[in-house]
Structure 1
Amino acid sequence: MNSYGVGGEPTVEWDVMDSGIGPLLLAATATGLVTVAFHARPAVRDATLDRLRTRFGTEPVAAPGSARLAEPIRELAAYFAGEPRDLGLALDWSLTSGFHREVLRELASGVPYGTVVGYGELAARVGRPEGAQAVGAAMGANPLPVVVPCHRVVESDGGLGGFSGGLETKRQLLALEGVLPQPLF
C-alpha cells in the first residue's frame, strides 16, 4: 500500500499491541510513527482515531500486520521484554509544532535509555531556562510517549512529576529502564 489513499490523502495505518503496561495504539504515516496511545481500550482508541481523522482529514485504516507498523511493534516488544534500547524509529512529527516539537526532539535525541532529566534542565537545553512549566506542557502533549521518552523527565527534587499515561505507568517504565527499583508488589 502506498502512503496516499483515494484523492491523494495521506494514509494513516494503526494497530493495537499488547505491552507490559497494557494495550498501546500505534499509528503511522508513510513518514513514520505518528502517535502512541496508552491504555488503548475502546474509548481511548476511538478518541485517538478521531484526533487522527481530524488532523489528517482521512479515515485511519486498521492495519494488523502492516509493514509500516512492523518495526515499531518489533522494537517496542523488545523494549518491553527488557532489552535495553533507545528506539531509533522513523517518526512523523506532524502532530506537534513550535516549542513543543523542539523540546520533544531534544528529549528523543538527548536523554538516552536508563537516564532521566529535569524539566528545568530540558528547558535550558532548548534555550529557555525559565521554561520548566512549558516543558511540562510539552510532555503532556507528547503524541509519541515511550518512543519520545517523556517518562524520563522528572522534577528537580527527585519527584516523578506528571505523566499522561498515569504515574503508575511512569513508575513501571522507569523501573523497566533500571532508574527506579521494581515495585515490591
Structure 2
Amino acid sequence: MYQDVEPKRVDVENNRPKTTATDDSLTNEGQAINGDSNKSQSFQMPRAPPHVYSCFVVNRTSEQIECMLKYDGRPGEEKFDEVINVTIPANSEHYFPRKFFQPDLPESYCKWVKIVTHVRVKKQNGKILEIDYPFENVHAPIRNWEFHVRDEGDILSKPPTRVVNVLKYENLDQYEC
C-alpha cells in the first residue's frame, strides 16, 4: 500500500533539488566535473545591530546638568521618534527605560522597540556635550547601557556596571535585568 519514497534532496545554498546524476557533467552535489564548479560562498549571519534600548545617564559632575535623550522609532518615519528632557542633579543619575510602539495597528499587533540614538547634555557653564548612534563599545543590542558625564572630557559610553533592580530605585517594575 505504501511505497518507499526517497525524500527529495535540496541544495540549500541554491534552493533547488540536488542532481543525483546520471549526467556526465554533474556530480551528486550539483557541481560540474569539467572544472566549471559553482563557486559557493559560505553563509554568514549578519551582525547584530549595536542598538541601545534603555540606558542610564550618570552625572559625575558637582553641578546639575540638563539632559536630552532621543529615541528613534521606525527608520524613515519621524512620527515614532521621541525626545525626553530631564534635569539630573549633581552626582546622580537618570534611567531612560525601554520604549515600545505599535506602528501598524489595527492591521498588525506587532510591537517595535525604540532605540536610543542621541544624548545631549548641557552643563551649568553652558558647555554642550553630545554623543550619537552608533555608540562606542556597543557591539550588539543591549539594555541598561551607561553614559557617564564627567567634569572634563566627553560623555563616556560604558557597559552596564551593576544589577539594575537594586532597592534604591523607585518603580522597580520599569528596570530590567
Q: Which has the higher strand share?
A: 2
State if a TM-score over 0.5 links the two structures: no
Higher relative contact order (CA 8 A, sep 6+): 2
For normalisation by structure 2, the TM-score amounts to 0.21
For normalisation by structure 1, the TM-score amounts to 0.21
Larger radius of gyration: 2
